[in-house]
């Protein structure tokens, strides 16, 4: 079992932009961009299709290190990404909070918080990430909202 790691705080917007630019030039040469991208980058790709593919790939690999990012994707703006993230989390961990990808945002965010707590309890070194970290470049930012 892979050791869980914290949400990669060192992954700056500039690093994401550089990686995406590199993947674009590879794609222009006929190389698949998804093979060129690290999971942490692909899971934040501006394209919902790429994010969805990255989520299923993480589930197939049994990649528990991506759980914190998958939890954030539960509140993705794209319903297909949310659906994939919900399924991947349950597939990877066996845990199910009853999350539904098509619920309203406040309900989805309650599940995000529940997942974060659950994951942090099992991975004390990870800690709980701050509520709703900045959205990656190219991904529409969620509206600010207080979740009780």
Partner 1 sequence: MSDDAAGEDVRLAITSHPKYLPMVRSLVEHGAALAGFGEEERHRIVLAVTEGVTNVIRHGYQGRTDQRIDLLLRSPPGLFHLEIADYGHYVDPSAMRSRPLDEIRPGGLGVHLMKATMDVVDYSRNGHGGTTLTLVKHCLAGKESS
Beta carbon nearer to partner 1, 3 or 35: 35
Single out the residue of 73, 64, 83 nearest to residue 42, CA to CA: 73
Where does this chain bind partner 1 (CB under 8 A)? 48-49, 52-53, 56, 59-60, 78-80, 83-84, 87, 91, 101-105
> Smallest gap, in angstroms, from Cβ of residue 145 to partner 1?
13
Beta carbon nearer to partner 1, 106 or 127: 106
User: Residue 137 has which token pair?
Assistant: 């470049």
Single out the residue of 92, 132, 88, 89 nearest to residue 113, CA to CA: 132
> Smallest gap, in angstroms, from Cβ of residue 50 to partner 1?
8
| Contact between residue 18 and residue 136 where contact means Cβ atoms under 8 Å apart | no
> Smallest gap, in angstroms, from Cβ of residue 134 to partner 1?
22
What's the distance, CA 121 to chain centroid?
A: 19
> Smallest gap, in angstroms, from Cβ of residue 84 to partner 1?
7
Beta carbon nearer to partner 1, 53 or 136: 53
Packing angle of the helix pair 105-122, 79-93 (nearest 10 deg): 30
């Amino acid at each position: 079992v892979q050791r869980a790691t914290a949400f990669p705080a060192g992954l700056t917007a500039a690093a994401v932009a550089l990686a995406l630019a590199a993947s674009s030039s590879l794609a222009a040469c006929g190389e698949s961009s998804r093979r060129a991208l690290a999971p942490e980058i692909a899971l934040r790709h501006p394209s919902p299709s790429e994010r969805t593919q990255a989520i299923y790939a993480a589930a197939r690999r049994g990649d528990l290190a991506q759980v914190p990012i998958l939890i954030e994707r539960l509140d993705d703006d794209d319903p297909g990404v949310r659906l994939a993230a919900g399924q991947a989390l349950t597939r990877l961990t066996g845990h199910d909070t009853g999350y539904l990808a098509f619920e309203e945002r406040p309900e989805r965010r309650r599940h995000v918080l529940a997942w974060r707590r659950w994951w942090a309890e099992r991975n004390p070194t990870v800690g709980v990430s701050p509520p709703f970290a900045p959205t990656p470049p190219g991904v529409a930012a969620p509206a600010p909202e207080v979740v009780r």
